[in-house]
Amino acid sequence: MKKFAAFFAIVCLLQSPCFAQLTTVPDGGNKKAMVGERIGLTDVTIHYSRPGVKGREGKIWGGLVPFGYTDLGFGTSKAAPWRAGANENTTIEFSTDVMIEGQPLAAGRYGFFIAVDKEASTLIFSKNSTSWGSFFYDAKEDALKVTVKQQSQDKSVEWLTYQFVDQTANSAVVALQWEKWQFAFKVETDIDKNQLQSFRNELKSDKGFDSKAWAQAADWCADHKTNLEEALQWADYAIGAEFVGEKSFRTLSVKSRILNLLNRQAEADALMKEALPIGNMNEVHGYARQLMAAKKVKEAAEAFRANYKKYPNTFTTNMGMARALSGEGNYKEALKYAGIALTQVPDPNNKLVIETAMEKLKAGKDMNQ
């Protein structure tokens, strides 16, 4: 009798209406919901309906939600998992390829099901994301199945919910919480792979008509020490491409960085000799600081001094001279330039930086350390 009643209710729900129906609150008070998050460059979006516990604590797992695979009495599936929500399919969509609990899953939209068991449960990502519930579940359509151990919670969650927790730069844990159980799985993305593909796509768009975009992509590769051969092509395009390329401190210095990483030092040095005279004060100062951080004290000092000669007695170039002299061990002279820079300080944060540097110099220590 119960199966007949359930069958009748489902048929009524699925029958094509003979009139235009107005939008109403979902049956049974189940709430429609959507949650999403960007992990790296990957958008993860979940659509689901939220059933409530409604006083049924202790009767959800193994009761309302049967263990394992069940004949629901309707549809083509004789062994259906739980729909991981209520009403229509729960769906989860990934804008790029991902790893689920260490297993690969291609970009796309999936129906999401769970075969719940007492100790561990099977999460199912189905290629069929358009069916209603799990009444037509077909294991042949599974794209991925992973097993996780559900976790008990002290506090009961009334309305089923999905959350993103334990986020890192390239991962997050998706947690389904309902009543006193939580089902969690880790989603990981390949940030470098996705970033490079994003660059390739965007450089073919209107953004590729600006040399700065090509330089930005090449610079990112240099920062991450990856994809250097293609990055060198991007740097060349930023410099010499028809209608787009330009010789500037930015484009020349980016190519120099990549050549340096490719152990083509002579070519890298030649480009920087070309770049430094056309760099503005802040560009040259930033480059000199990079050299100092790389322990190339002689080259850094030369760049700081050339910048001071071109832009004398400014806050930036006085700080540059202080750094150059400090790197060479001349703390007394460095302190003099730092003192002048202190009188020109543009903001409280820089004032704190200078005061800290001056304390180091007074103690006979290198302010660059």
Q: What single string gives the DSSP state of each residue in 11-68?
A: HHHHSPPSSPPPP-PPGGGPEEEEEEEEETTEEEEEEEEE-B-TT-TTSTBTTTB-SS
Q: What is the CATH number of the domain that holds 333?
A: 1.25.40.10
pLDDT at residue 29, as a whole number: 66
pLDDT given at position 357: 93
Q: Please tell me whether residues 66 and 34 are part of one structural domain.
A: yes
- DSSP character for 171? E
When mean pLDDT is compared across 20-29, 209-218, 264-273, 324-333, the lowest value belongs to 20-29
Residue 369 has pLDDT above 80, yes or no: yes
Residue 178 sits in the same domain as residue 199: no
Span 120-141, mean pLDDT? 95
Whole-number pLDDT of residue 22? 79
Q: Give the CA diameter of the chain.
A: 95
Residue 85 scores a pLDDT above 70: yes
**Together in a domain, 121 and 267:** no
- Based on the number of CB atoms within 10 Å of its own CB, is 142 exposed (0-12), middle (13-18) or buried (19 or more)? middle
Within a domain: 265: yes
58 part of a folded domain: yes
290 and 231 within one domain: yes
Domain count, the chain: 2
pLDDT at 54 over 90: yes
Who contacts 246 (Cβ-Cβ below 8 Å, separation ≥6)?
211, 238, 239
**pLDDT of the residue at 365:** 94
Would you say how long the chain is, in residues?
369
In which domain, by residue range, is 329 found? Answer: 192-362
- pLDDT tops 60 at residue 86: yes
Calpha distance 286→289 (Å, rounded): 5
Strand order, beta sheet including 171-188: 103-105, 98-100, 171-188, 151-165
pLDDT at 30: 74
What is the Cα–Cα distance from 304 to 246, expressed in whole angstroms? 25
The residue from 137, 168, 189 where one domain ends is 189
Is residue 367, in this structure, part of any structural domain at all? Answer: no
What mean pLDDT value characterizes the chain? 92
SS3 label, residue 198: helix
